[in-house]
Amino acid sequence: MNVIGESVDERGPINAKRYAPIHTSAPLLTEQGSGAEILVTGMKVVDLLAPYAKGGKIGLFGGAGVGKTVVIMELINNVANNHGGVSVFAGVGERTREGNDLYYEMIESGVIKINDDGTTKGSKAALVYGQMNEPPGARARVGLTGLTVAEYFRDVEGQDVLLFVDNIFRFTQACSEVSALLGRIPSAVGYQPTLATDLGALQERITSTKKGSITSVQAIYVPADDLTDPAPATTFSHLDATTVLSRQISELGIYPA
């Protein structure tokens, strides 16, 4: 679906019994759950050297072309297929081709089921897209739409949800474009003055409660490989686990870098 919940897979309109606002407050501290369980990714270097926590927020940092999206695809393949619960993928301002590839890969692996009557009943994934060619308003809000879908499965159905976001930097970039259109005075490196607020409003809702959990894997583009850039630097503080992909290692042809 797109940012306002319209079907984009040419399988007819989505008939909804329940509607939810994409803007809502984060769960209260008393509602949040706790737990220390390792999320097994099936990628040896990650599981051994930089393990991820189940119900946590995981960040994949890297510059252009070092393999962030490929690692996310691998995680979707390894974790989502063996997970048993529901997976939500939010494509925020990334290439339409990648979203298209992911859709067909999920059909092939059976995570998305296309039944004989054309319905997708029995599917274990929801895909929410606001890609590069869409207006900044759509790209700035599609992450919230994907998160609202994940919150439904967590709070109403009590499930353990996997939320994949590609790419958080594009969310920041879209908010910056909207900020410029609104005539706000830019802050450091030309970003919007509300950078920390925008990111906090999204990230604080990605959490585990006593009803269910959301484990989030987020790709974060690093402009010009500069980790001190305000966008990736602000994102760091929200994450439970971070994996920084190295250009030097990717140049040697070693992946994941």
From the list 46, 103, 80, the residue with the least C-alpha distance to 215 is 80
Q: Is 94 a catalytic residue?
A: yes
Reported as type and span, the H/E element at residue 199 is helix 195-203
Per the structure, how many domains does the chain have? 1
From the list 37, 64, 20, the residue with the least C-alpha distance to 154 is 20
Res 227: pLDDT? 92
Question: Would residue 21 count as lying in a domain?
Answer: no
CA–CA separation, 199 and 231 (whole Å): 9
**Catalytic member of 57, 94, 98, 141:** 94
CB 220 within 8 A of CB 170: no
Question: Would residue 233 count as lying in a domain?
Answer: yes
Question: Would residue 186 count as lying in a domain?
Answer: no
CATH of the domain at 246: 3.40.50.300
Predicted model pTM: 0.90
**Catalytic member of 54, 74, 95, 134:** 95
Residue 167, CA distances (Å) to 130, 139, 163, 200, 219 in order: 11, 10, 12, 16, 5
Question: Would residue 26 count as lying in a domain?
Answer: no
Q: Whole domain around residue 223: which residue ranges?
A: 32-172+200-251
* Tokens coding 107: 């059909």
Task: Classify the C-alpha dihedral 68-69-71-72 as positive or negative.
Answer: positive
Mean pLDDT by runs of 10 across the 257 residues of the chain is 91 88 91 81 87 89 85 81 82 89 86 82 90 93 96 91 92 95 93 94 91 91 92 93 89 82
Q: Is 204 a catalytic residue?
A: no
Question: Would residue 195 count as lying in a domain?
Answer: no
Question: Would residue 2 count as lying in a domain?
Answer: no
CB 12 within 8 A of CB 1: no
- Count of helices and strands (H, E) across the chain: 9, 8
Res 154: pLDDT? 92
Res 204: pLDDT? 92
| 54 exposure class (CB count in 10 Å sphere: 0-12, 13-18, 19+) | middle
Question: Would residue 13 count as lying in a domain?
Answer: no
Residues 6+ apart with CB under 8 A from 246: 62, 66, 257
**Catalytic member of 57, 68, 154, 205:** 68
Q: Is 68 a catalytic residue?
A: yes
Question: Would residue 42 count as lying in a domain?
Answer: yes
